[in-house]
Amino acid sequence: MVFTVRSAFPATSEFGTPTPNVYAACDAIVIASLRTEASPIVLREAFASGRPVIATKVGDIPEIVRHRENGLLIEPGNTQALASAILEFISDPELAAHCAENGFRYATENFSFDKMMDAKLRADLAVLRKKQGRESPSRSSQDITSSGNN
């Protein structure tokens, strides 16, 4: 859920409005997931937009968001903690700016296209190596990676 604290209502966009414009209109991004999520795209987008993030401790979120370093973490379903976190960013703009800056840095270091493609390539190669071991031990990983380039 994306909120703009400044205007006190959910930020909405008509279909087709560029996502960066929505994030730019927000003072903070709230990811109030109640159940497990892997790595929500909205978290990547929020970090990349340079906005401070408040997120629940579900899925991989606590591995990415470091409390008071690049965002604020709260327990899922705890509305009091959510309200307190929002008020904390409002009352401490330096903390909000600190978290936003560190979140942006995290995004540039970890969520760039090249980084994500490198991670995907490593995962794909691991699967291919495992499959190669079961089907054709004579093929090397070099053969596997170069066979797609023909």
* Residue-wise pLDDT tens digits, 46-86: 999 999 999 999 999 999 999 999 999 999 999 999 999 99
What pLDDT was estimated at residue 19? Answer: 76
CA distance 104 to 82: 22
Domain covering 2-111: architecture: 3-Layer(aba) Sandwich (3.40)
Report, as an integer, the average pLDDT of 87-95.
98
Distance CA 80, CA 122 (A): 42
Domain positions in the chain are: 2-111, 114-147
| Of 25, 88, 81, the residue nearest 51 (C-alpha) | 25
pLDDT, tens digit, 9 for 90 and up, residues 101-146: 999 999 999 888 887 788 889 999 999 999 888 765 554 445 545 5
* Of 75, 65, 14, nearest in space to 44 by CA: 65
Q: Could you report the per-residue pLDDT of 1-52, keeping only the tens digit for each?
A: 444 444 444 444 454 556 788 888 899 999 999 987 777 888 999 999 999 9
pTM for the full predicted model? 0.68
For residues 19 and 96, the model is more confident at 96
pLDDT for 27 equals 93
Rg (CA), the chain: 20
